[in-house]
């Protein structure tokens, strides 16, 4: 992959595919982490005298212009963070985009409207995607891929445009891939992975691939109940994926034969129902009452997990240990996050909700070696899949 420093950008129009897909409450950005993560590449290009044209998507407007998915609030925030004006185009590849780009001077930055307003962006039809990609490519002389959170998508702006323009990889993608390599190629040991989140089915590929690489696999969150059930315990009304029981039994056997230590919760915070103020008690993981629902790992599990992480040299964590959105059920997730902050290991947080939890707890971001900006993209990489956006930047 060509790095940014290998592109001669002065005076050239550079199209940067960024990931600016931030959570919005109305038109208020509730977490601007992804915008901040995009700044270094944009700054570097502008500093070298490029005419920087940023493109990105927001939410799922599905090929239609829907004002609630406008990138306008993002343009405003980007401008505040850059400390420079950002020219915002009212369309993606139309008159406004062309005029906005034509007016750019060296070192100036523009943002195009939401890529997903255009049906060609996400089209499964190669020709339709290539046609839209050609219209995007016409706006620029060079392309820089830096939207790590979208790199697992075979979308026009991610996969097709770099085939049509001289291209390079931006600093964010380069840094993310560097971290993922450290997690998959010769990681420092002991290597512990903590997985949680809602559904085990979302993480099957990751579990399968990481089982062959890790020394310890700690399972919490909603997926733990399918593991407990696979071991023969009843889980009451907890989240359970019956259709995954056979697969999970396979993982348990595989872990045993590979010598991987698979650590499951020993106690659970069991609630009467799924609610912030639900009545709850701590029960043994092997004795969850039939009318209760496990919404967090219990205090003994918090200690057990912290202990299993204490001497690890590499830790990857994806997925909350409980329903951390409710304060009463956030302690397990907080305990894992704090164990990572205490650790001297190479610690990586992947997953949008896990990263949101870290910020909700007010933990310092530099307490972790890396917090990934792309949950789905990191997971697909760790599954061993080829990512279209990386393939496109390779040649
Ligand atoms: P990430 O975005 O970090 O990859 P996921 O999207 O896989 O994480 O899962 C996050 C969700 O899992 C959170 O919304 C959390 O409330 C939910 N969750 C965690 N534990 C449980 C549980 N025991 N029961 C129900 N939902 C849970
Ligand atoms: Mg999530």
In the predicted structure, residue 375 carries a pLDDT above the cut 90: no
Closest to 98 in 3D by CA, of 64, 42, 53, 56? 53
Clarify whether residues 50 and 156 are in a common domain.
Answer: yes
How many angstroms separate the alpha carbon of residue 280 from the centre of ligand 1? 18
Spatial distance between the Cα atoms of 11 and 220, rounded to a whole number of angstroms: 52
Q: How far apart are alpha carbons 110 and 271 in whole angstroms?
A: 50
Nearest residue (by CA) to ligand 1, atom 1, is 351
CB atoms inside a 10 Å sphere around CB 283? 17
CATH code for the domain of 116: 3.40.50.1260
Nearest CA to ligand 1 atom 16: 323
Q: Are residues 167 and 305 in the same domain?
A: no
Residues contacting 183, CB < 8 A, separation 6+: 314, 316, 348, 382
- Do residues 310 and 338 touch, judged by C-beta distance below 8 A? no
- Taking the CA of residue 295 as reference, the ligand 1 atom at the shortest distance is 23
Q: From the CB of 44, is ligand 1 less than 6 Å away?
A: no
* Pocket flag, ligand 1, residue 149 (CB < 6 Å): no
Residues 252, 160 share a domain? no
162 & 238 share domain: no
Same structural domain, 193 and 157: no
Residue 388 in domain? no
Cβ of 352 closer than 6 Å to ligand 1, yes or no, is yes
What's the mean pLDDT in 76-90?
A: 98
Under DSSP, the state recorded for 148 is G
Domain count for the chain = 2
In the prediction, which pLDDT does 317 show? Answer: 97
Q: Please state the atom number of ligand 1 nearest to the C-alpha of residue 379.
A: 4
Determine what percent of the chain is predicted with pLDDT higher than 70: 100
Range of the domain at 377: 187-383
Q: Is the pTM of this model over 0.85?
A: yes
**pLDDT for residue 193 is more than 90:** yes
Domain boundary among 155, 175, 195: 175
Residue that terminates a domain, selected from 145, 175, 205 = 175
- Residue 395, pLDDT above cutoff 80: no
Q: What is the pLDDT of residue 202?
A: 87
Single out the residue in 125, 146, 175 at which a domain terminates. Answer: 175
Mean pLDDT score across all residues of the chain? 96
Annotated active-site positions, please?
34, 199, 352, 376
Which pLDDT value is given to residue 172?
Answer: 96
Atom from ligand 1 closest to the CA of residue 356: 3
β pairing state of 267-271 and 293-297: antiparallel
The answer, yes or no, to whether residue 31 has pLDDT greater than 90, is: no
* Ligand 1 and 354: CB distance under 6 A: yes
Asked whether the CA dihedral 168, 173, 179, 184 is positive or negative, the reply is: negative
Least confidently predicted of 147-161, 209-223, 347-361: 347-361
> 244 and 141 in one domain?
no
Mean pLDDT over 248-268 rounds to: 97
Whether residue 31 has its Cβ less than 6 Å from ligand 1: no
Q: Do both 130 and 162 map to the same domain?
A: yes
- Flag whether 393 is in a domain: no
**Tens digits of per-residue pLDDT, 273-318?**
999 999 999 999 999 999 999 999 999 999 999 999 999 999 999 9
* Same-domain pairing of 211 and 152: no
Ligand 1, atom 17, residue with closest C-alpha? 198
Q: CB neighbours of 368 closer than 8 A, spacing ≥ 6?
A: 340, 341, 347, 348, 349, 358
Binding residues for substrate: 19-21, 34, 57-60, 116, 153
Q: What is the pLDDT of residues 111-134, one digit of tens each?
A: 999 999 999 999 999 999 999 999
Which of 229, 305, 319 should be mutated for ligand 1, with most atoms under 8 A from CB? 319
Is there a contact between 390 and 162 (Cβ–Cβ < 8 Å)?
A: no
pLDDT the model gives residue 214: 97
pLDDT of 352 reads: 84
Ligand nearest the Cα of residue 378 is: 1
Structural contact between residues 358 and 318, judged by C-beta atoms closer than 8 angstroms: no
Q: How far is the CA of 308 from the centre of ligand 1 (A)?
A: 21
Give the ligand at the shortest distance from the Cα of 318: 1
pLDDT in tens, 130-147: 999 999 999 999 999 999
């Amino acid at each position: 992959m060509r790095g940014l420093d290998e592109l001669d950008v002065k005076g050239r129009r550079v199209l940067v595919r960024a990931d600016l897909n931030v959570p919005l409450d109305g038109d208020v950005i509730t977490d601007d982490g992804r915008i901040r993560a995009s700044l270094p590449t944009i700054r570097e290009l502008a500093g070298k005298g490029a005419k920087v044209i940023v493109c990105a998507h927001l939410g799922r407007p599905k090929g239609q212009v829907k004002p609630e998915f406008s990138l306008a609030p993002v343009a405003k925030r980007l401008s505040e963070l850059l400390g420079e004006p950002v020219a915002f185009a009212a369309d993606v590849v139309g008159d406004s985009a062309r005029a906005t780009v034509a007016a750019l001077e060296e070192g100036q930055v523009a943002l195009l409207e939401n890529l997903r307003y255009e049906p060609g962006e996400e089209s499964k039809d190669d020709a339709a995607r290539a046609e839209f990609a050609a219209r995007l490519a016409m706006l620029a002389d060079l392309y820089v891929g830096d939207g790590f959170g979208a790199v697992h998508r075979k979308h026009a702006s991610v996969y097709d445009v770099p085939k049509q323009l001289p291209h390079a990889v931006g600093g964010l993608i380069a840094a993310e891939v560097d971290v993922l390599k450290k997690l998959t190629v010769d990681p420092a040991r002991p290597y512990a992975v903590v997985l949680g989140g809602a559904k085990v089915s979302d993480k099957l590929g990751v579990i399968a691939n990481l089982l062959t690489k890790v020394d310890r696999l700690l399972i919490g969150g909603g997926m733990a109940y399918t593991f407990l059930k696979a071991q023969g315990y009843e889980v009451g009304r907890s989240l359970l994926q019956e259709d995954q029981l056979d697969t999970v039994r396979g993982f348990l056997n595989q872990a045993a034969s590979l010598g991987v230590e698979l650590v499951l919760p020993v106690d659970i915070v069991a609630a009467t129902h799924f609610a912030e103020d639900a009545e709850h008690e701590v029960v043994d993981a092997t004795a969850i009452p039939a009318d209760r629902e496990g919404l967090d790992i219990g205090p003994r599990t918090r200690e057990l997990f912290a202990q299993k992480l204490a001497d690890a040299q590499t830790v990857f964590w994806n997925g909350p240990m409980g329903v951390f959105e409710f304060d009463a059920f956030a302690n397990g997730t907080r305990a894992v996050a704090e164990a990572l902050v205490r650790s001297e290991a190479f610690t990586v947080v992947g997953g949008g909700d896990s990263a949101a939890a870290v910020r909700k707890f007010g933990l310092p971001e530099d307490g972790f070696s890396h917090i990934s900006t792309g949950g789905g993209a990191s997971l697909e990489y760790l599954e061993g899949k080829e990512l279209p956006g990386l393939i496109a930047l390779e040649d």
